A = this chain, B = another copy of it.
């Protein structure tokens, strides 16, 4: 899949912007797994060392393309740290990505754009899934398990309710309130990979 370099437009776009544009195209066309630093460099018409210089690695490039305020790999690091309930911290980290000080535009607008892209272009959803699988859900490989999948159900659902549907009281609640309510569910799923104890048992 050799694509001729796009070359530089006359004038304004800087190299970093060129690389991000080339990477966006590459992730769409080849998926996350099929994209390499080298193929992005080729598309952008720059030396691969420049791509490394600006973005570090492929995951960093993907984060830039998705215009994420924070690298979601931090979420994975947070999950790996220490024992005890981490659900609330995870919800706070998720909300911080979309509405924290480093986010741009309206609170949640990055989430809305991401949902729009993933629902409109299956290739974007695929690239996002590959990225999350490799970098957040199971960085050490292994079979798919219910835990990470159900945690992502919680976080995606919160984003949907808060930023897109603007369901009250979730839309106006503080991040801490949301974290306090949804965190325990995440802890339960992370503990067992499921939530079979409690009110759902037929024996109650």
Residues from chain B with a CB closer than 8 A to the CB of A166 are 125-126, 129
| Pairwise interchain contact B200-A165, C-beta atoms closer than 8 A | no
Chain A interface helix/strand/loop/mixed: helix
**How far apart are A55's CB and chain B's nearest CB, in angstroms?**
24
- Report if A50 contacts B (CB, 8 A): no
- Report if A6 contacts B (CB, 8 A): no
Cα separation A155 to B202 with both chains bound (whole Å)? 21
Of all chain B residues, the one with the shortest Cβ separation from A114 is B119
| Pairwise interchain contact A85-B129, C-beta atoms closer than 8 A | no
**Residues of chain A in range 151-195 having any CB-CB distance to chain B below 8 Å:** 152-158, 160-161, 164-170, 180-185, 187-188, 191, 194-195
- Report if A197 contacts B (CB, 8 A): yes
Cα separation A156 to B166 with both chains bound (whole Å)? 13
Cα separation A149 to B181 with both chains bound (whole Å)? 11
| Pairwise interchain contact A165-B156, C-beta atoms closer than 8 A | yes
Q: Which of B170, B185, B194 contacts A149 (CB 8 A)?
A: B170
Q: How large is the interface on A (under 10, 10 to 19, 20 to 34, 35 or more residues)?
A: 35 or more
**Residues of chain A in range 50-108 having any CB-CB distance to chain B below 8 Å:** 85, 87-88
Residues from chain B with a CB closer than 8 A to the CB of A14 are none
- Report if A145 contacts B (CB, 8 A): yes
- Spell out A's residues near B (CB within 8 Å): 85, 87-88, 112, 115-116, 118-120, 125-126, 128-129, 132, 137, 144-146, 149-150, 152-158, 160-161, 164-170, 180-185, 187-188, 191, 194-202, 204
Contact sample, A vs B, 14 pairs, CB 8 Å cutoff = A85-B201, A87-B199, A88-B200, A116-B119, A119-B164, A125-B166, A149-B167, A152-B161, A153-B154, A156-B160, A180-B196, A183-B200, A184-B199, A188-B195
